[in-house]
């Protein structure tokens, strides 16, 4: 899925299952973010990522150039929650919910 979502008018991309391995092996992402699983993004630099260091794993947004978890921005508690809220809120760009280590 890749499209602009209205009325938020933000671009949301969810990767095809066949792409998940390649996306997650690119750019030493797993070394920088152990316990992560990238599932999509904003179609540009930001990657929508599960944070499996936590239970249940929340979804966060991480810039491709980020070096550590402290730069992750919480988006939602689950994919279904993100998809429910996204049309109205779009991407969250500030870290109003800090991540646990």
What is the residue extent of each domain of the chain? 2-86
Which CATH class, in words, describes the domain spanning 2-86?
Answer: alpha beta
Total number of residues shown for the chain = 101
User: Cα 36 to chain center, whole Å?
Assistant: 10
Cα 2 off chain centre by: 14
The tally of CA atoms less than 13 A away on the side-chain side of residue 9 is: 0
Per-residue pLDDT in tens (0 to 9) along the chain, 101 residues: 898 999 999 999 999 999 999 989 887 888 999 999 999 999 999 999 999 999 999 999 999 999 999 999 999 999 999 999 999 999 999 865 544 44
């Amino acid at each position: 899925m890749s499209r602009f979502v209205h009325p938020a008018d933000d671009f949301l991309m969810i990767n095809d299952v066949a792409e998940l391995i390649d996306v997650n092996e690119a750019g030493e992402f797993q070394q920088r973010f152990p316990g992560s699983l990238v599932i999509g993004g904003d179609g540009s630099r930001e990657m929508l990522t599960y944070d499996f260091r936590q239970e249940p794993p929340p979804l966060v947004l991480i810039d491709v150039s980020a070096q550590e978890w402290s730069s992750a921005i919480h988006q939602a508690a689950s994919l279904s929650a993100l998809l429910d809220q996204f049309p109205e809120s779009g991407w969250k760009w500030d870290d109003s919910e800090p991540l646990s280590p």
